[in-house]
Amino acid sequence: MERLLIRRPWDMHVHFRQGEVLDGLVRETARYCAGALVMPNTSPPILTYEDALEYEFRIKNVANRAGYQHFKPLMALKLAQNTSEQTIWRAASSINSIVKAVKLYPRGVTTNTSDGVSAPLEKNLQKVYAAMQEVGMVLSIHCEDPNADVFAAEEQYLPVVGLLTHLFPDLRIVLEHVSTRAAVEFVQQSGPNVAATITAHHMRFNRNHLLKDGLRPHLYCKPILKTENDRQAVHAAAVSGNPTFFLGSDSAPHPKNAKETSCCAAGVFTAPILIPLLAESFEDARMLDRLEGFASIYGPQFYGIVPRQSAALLTLVRETEQIPHPRSSEAAVLPLAGESLRWRIQY
C-alpha cells in the first residue's frame, strides 16, 4: 500500500498550554485533526464552564485564523477537591455543551497538579461524580498514585478506579495514556463505560529506550515508559480494533532547554509527527486498516460524537521524511529527531 485515506483524526488528549505558545500548538494539531479534547491543567487552570468557554474561544480563534475552520475543540474541566455538583450542572446546561469531561489529577502527579485531588472518594466529590453520571459527562483520570514507586504508580491507582466503577456503574470513565499491561487488562475486563486513551510513544517505546545506553530526556513523560511486556500490551490494545481503546496523544511540548537539564520536564512532543508515527506502528502489526478506527472513530464515539461518513479525509503517502531537529533552544524536540519515518501526511 502506497497511499492511505482515513477520516481526519480526533486527538482525545492534547495540551495547548496558555500564553504565547498556544497559537503554534493549536495550529500543529488543527491542521490534520477534526477535533481534540483539550486538557485543563494549564496555568491558570480550567475549573469552570466560564473558564472553558473563554479557552475554547481563543483556541477556535487561532484555528479559524489559520484556515482550519473544520477543527472542533472539546473542553475538559479540572477537578479540584472543592469542585461542586453545581459546576457540573452549569457546564451541562450550556446551549453548545462544549464541556465533555472532567479530569481527575491526583495531587502532584504531573505538570500543574499541585492543586489536584488528594481524596478522590470524599463525599462532596461523590456528589460531583453522581451529577456527571446523570448528565453523561466523562470522568477522565490520570491513573497514577503520586506516592508510589514511579514504575508501579499506574497499577497502584487502579483500585481507586475500581471503586469508582462500583459506586457509579453508569459513569463513563477514561483512563488516560495507559502504559501498563495491568491498566490494559483493567479496561478489557470492565464494562463498555470504561475506556482508555493510548499515546504513540507508549505504543512504540519502552523504558530501555529511555534509560539504556544513556538517558534520553525527550522520551521522559508521565506516566513513565514501562517494560517491553507493558509496551507490547499497550500496542496490542491499540491495534486490536476494540473501541474502548482510542487515540489520546498526550503531546506535551517543552523547550529544548527545559528537557536537557539537571531536572527535566515531563512530556513527549509528538503532535507534528503523530499520524505518521501511528501509521508505522499499525503497519508493523499488519493492521493499517484499523488505524482509522483507533484514530478517528472510537474516541469521539465514546464522547457522544459520531464522525460523519462524509467527513473530510486525511491522505497518508508512503514517502520517507526526516524528523527535523529544533531550530533553537526554545523550540521543542521531537522524539526520533534526525531519523526518518516511512509515512507522511499529504496536504
Tens digit of pLDDT at every position of the chain (347 positions): 799 999 999 999 999 988 888 999 999 999 999 999 999 999 999 999 999 999 999 999 999 999 999 999 999 999 999 999 999 999 998 767 899 999 999 999 998 888 999 999 999 999 999 999 999 999 999 999 999 999 999 999 999 999 999 999 999 999 999 999 999 999 999 999 999 999 999 999 999 999 999 999 999 999 999 999 999 999 999 999 999 999 999 999 888 899 999 999 999 999 999 999 999 999 999 999 999 999 999 999 999 997 666 568 999 999 999 998 877 767 788 988 899 999 999 98
Q: Collapsing DSSP states into helix, strand and coil, what is residue 104? A: strand
Q: Please give the distance of CA 20 from its chain centroid, rounded to a whole number.
A: 22
Cβ partners under 8 Å of residue 215, min gap 6 = none
Catalytic residue among 23, 170, 250, 284: 250
Does pTM surpass 0.85? yes
Angle CA(15)–CA(76)–CA(144) in degrees, nearest 5? 70
Which residues are registered as beta bridge partners of 343? 318
**Per-domain residue ranges for the chain?**
9-310
Tally of residues, the chain: 347
Separation CA 257–CA 278 (nearest Å): 27
Closest listed residue to residue 197, CA positions, set 24, 39, 8:
39
Closest listed residue to residue 48, CA positions, set 18, 83, 74, 1:
83
Query: Is 213 annotated in the active site?
Result: no
User: 42 near 14, Cβ under 8 Å?
Assistant: no
- 336-347 burial, b at 16+ Cβ within 10 Å, e below that, comes to beeeebebbbee
Q: How many CA atoms lie within 13 A of 54 on its CB side?
A: 9
Separation CA 206–CA 203 (nearest Å): 8
Strands 313-322 and 245-247: unpaired
Closest listed residue to residue 331, CA positions, set 4, 24, 107, 1:
24
Q: Which residue has the cell 488528594?
A: 118
Which homologous superfamily is 9-310 in?
Metal-dependent hydrolases (3.20.20.140)
User: 101 near 303, Cβ under 8 Å?
Assistant: yes
